[in-house]
Amino acid sequence: GFSPDGQRIVSASRDRTAQVWDVETGEVIQRLKEGHDFLVSAGRFFPDGKRILTAAVDNTVRVWNVSTGTQQLTLDATGVTAAVDVAADGRWILTGGGREEVDDGAGNFTWEAQLWDAGTGARVQRLGGHGAEVSAVAIGPRAELLFTGDGRGRCRLWDRRTGDLLWEQPGHTRGVTVAAFSQDGQRVLSASADNTVVGWDVAEGEMTGWLLKHPDAVTALAWSPDNRHVLTACADRVARLWDLETNQAIHQWRVGNLSLQAVAFSPRGEAVILASDGTAQFREWDGRQPSNGDQPYQQLQLDPRRAWSLDFSPDGRMLLSAGGDEAQLWDLRTGRPGMQFARQGSIASARFSPDGRRIVTSSWDTTAKIWDAATGVVARRLTGHDGFVNDATFCPENRRVVTASDDRTARLWDAETGELLVRFTGHRDRVRTALFSPDARHVLTASNDGTARIWDTATGTLRHVLGTHDRAVLCAAYSADGRYLVTGGEDNGALVWDVSGEEPAVLARLEGHSAAVTDVAFSPSGTRVVTVSQDHTAIVWDPRPAADAGSEPRGTELLTLKGHTNELTSVSFSPAGRSVLTSCRDGDLILWPTADWNRAAPSRRGLSLLTEPAASAPPP
């Protein structure tokens, strides 16, 4: 967004940073890079222009000093949707939040929004009762009213001074993605993944005559300073300028073939900013007609020949593919191959470290190797396994690596020295995969013995045995918040587990494949699970148990992705969750856009970063 004087712009990025730009020169004058652990989804100036607020899907909101670039406040547990707003007087911050148990004896819960003191970072109000995670918030211009919208499309208006709920309306048929008050505070607009923007009369709690219909999910919106126009961003990669007197779009900007993440008006309304993946465009506008045309973006086309294992770099700019006896980096901006890692025994997996500086590969030569991602030099060779090494993964803090082997063990290594730290022993057959929980306190292993196991990372002590699969467990994945995990196996099914309590419990069964499930992945928001199978298909699931699940809780199958002609081997979400890559045993690679999981299966296409609306449902 623009600074109050219109001379600077703050942009937020999936590389976990925010940057301040000079409007006149286009140069970066400040980079806020220390703090967030994951994708930064929002950045905005405080009204005095001296501070910046950023929100990320790492469940935090942070406040920064613009002149020094230092972090002043951290607000924790603000929700993984990164919903945030700051009051016009700079005194209050409104965010999403977590869920709270309902005292009904049935284990139900609701979600809340939270109001914070922007000076001290103290939480002053909790606005609970939403039936899904709060995905959009807005503060009225006089900070007397607060608007919240959730993942099920319900909209609420609150009195900031008392915390009372003034009205509630269903509003949308899918999740609310963004909301904003008019400058006079008499109207509020809510945008949704149901392809609409709805106008609300604040005093009456009723819809106005404004209904702006889009061809796809609406991902961002902004009011013009004179309240006469609205700028929206849509998942079809088009920004639209609307005249609110006619409910008509009077201009459209197509920003190449990349997704639009944010839009804004300059303080005097003479320009707009359109932000997409890694790029922000500044467009002049005189109130009647735009004065500059569309600028094309490069469309990436990539056709890797070997893709048994796939991993996006943390900043989303590189793709790491592994297959046969080599691993290969690909530049997603140019589509060109980058560093190739030297020939070795057949590679089972290749993954980036969380900071993107190193790569770990597992191999059937009984070793794992840690590589410098920039130079392609082997930094460490991890030796000691007595069988094929099937998987290797970095710890979230970059300093350790866990490996899984045919020798029935998993092992924890110091990534700096190559020293063996812990052996995880107890499986009765080959260990197919091993990974860390997001907080790194546990290691999860999956084995051909039909179990997945959770271990204490520090001691190697077995904590839990997950033994509900009928045959080999081939794959597993945690949700980003670590509360849930999903396992898949040769019994053709997957299981979603709640591991937030003392004992893991099966939350839902995912049954729909006709052959073994070979890989699984949670979306970054935790709202979807994708499974891939030897039956040549991928399936998208809502992992929450269906309302009529009965004694055998099952997730809801949303979409079957058909296009591969051989068994699938891997699935990977891009860091921001806007696309999913699936790989096939014949080396074929397909990118699936996640913009609307409910329409027909997307067609085969080259690699590009596509669009996903903000999360429209809570984690399971």
Q: Can you spell out the DSSP letters for 246-306?
A: TTEEEEEEE-TTS-EEEEEE-TTSSEEEEEETTEEEEEEB-SSSBSS-----PPP----S-
**pLDDT band (50, 70, 90) for residue 610:** very low
Q: What is the pLDDT of residue 293?
A: 32
Q: What is the pLDDT of residue 525?
A: 86
Cβ atoms of 283 and 275 closer than 8 Å:
no
Count other C-beta atoms under 10 Å from residue 505's C-beta. Answer: 13
Q: What is the pLDDT of residue 248?
A: 87
Residue indicated by tokens 């639009």: 260
Of residues 347, 326, 348, 329, the one with CA closest to residue 338: 329
CA-to-CA distance for 561 and 530, rounded, in angstroms?
A: 10
Q: What is the mean pLDDT of residues 608-619?
A: 29
Cβ atoms of 585 and 560 closer than 8 Å:
no
| Higher pLDDT pick, 331 / 334 | 331
Q: What is the mean pLDDT of residues 367-382?
A: 90
pLDDT above 90 as % of the chain: 44
Q: Over 80: is that where the pLDDT of 20 sits?
A: no
Question: Could you read off the pLDDT of 81-93 as tens digits, one per residue?
Answer: 889 999 999 999 9
Cβ atoms of 362 and 385 closer than 8 Å:
no
| Higher pLDDT pick, 480 / 559 | 480
**pLDDT band (50, 70, 90) for residue 605:** very low
Cβ atoms of 166 and 205 closer than 8 Å:
yes
Q: Over 70: is that where the pLDDT of 415 sits?
A: yes
pLDDT, averaged across the chain? 81
CA-to-CA distance for 589 and 569, rounded, in angstroms?
A: 10
Q: What is the mean pLDDT of residues 372-382?
A: 89
Q: What is the pLDDT of residue 13?
A: 56
Question: Could you read off the pLDDT of 28-44 as tens digits, one per residue?
Answer: 666 666 555 554 556 77
**pLDDT band (50, 70, 90) for residue 603:** very low
Q: What is the pLDDT of residue 305?
A: 44
Q: What is the mean pLDDT of residues 160-189?
A: 93
Cβ atoms of 274 and 255 closer than 8 Å:
yes
Half-sphere exposure of 88 (CA within 13 A, CB side): 14
Of 12-21, 380-389, 502-511, 610-619, the range with the lowest mean pLDDT is 610-619
Helix %, strand %, coil % for the chain, to 5? 0, 50, 50
Q: What is the pLDDT of residue 321?
A: 74
What is the sign, positive or negative, of the torsion defined by CA atoms of 415, 417, 421, 426? positive
Q: Over 70: is that where the pLDDT of 431 sits?
A: yes
Of 323-337, 363-377, 513-527, the range with the lowest mean pLDDT is 323-337
Of 26-35, 453-462, 574-583, 597-606, the range with the lowest mean pLDDT is 597-606
Question: Could you read off the pLDDT of 458-476 as tens digits, one per residue?
Answer: 999 999 999 889 899 999 9
Distances (CA, A) of 175 to 178, 210, 341, 545: 9, 18, 43, 19
Q: Over 50: is that where the pLDDT of 450 sits?
A: yes
Question: Could you read off the pLDDT of 476-486 as tens digits, one per residue?
Answer: 999 999 999 99
**pLDDT band (50, 70, 90) for residue 565:** confident
CA-to-CA distance for 352 and 371, rounded, in angstroms?
A: 9
Q: What is the pLDDT of residue 304?
A: 40
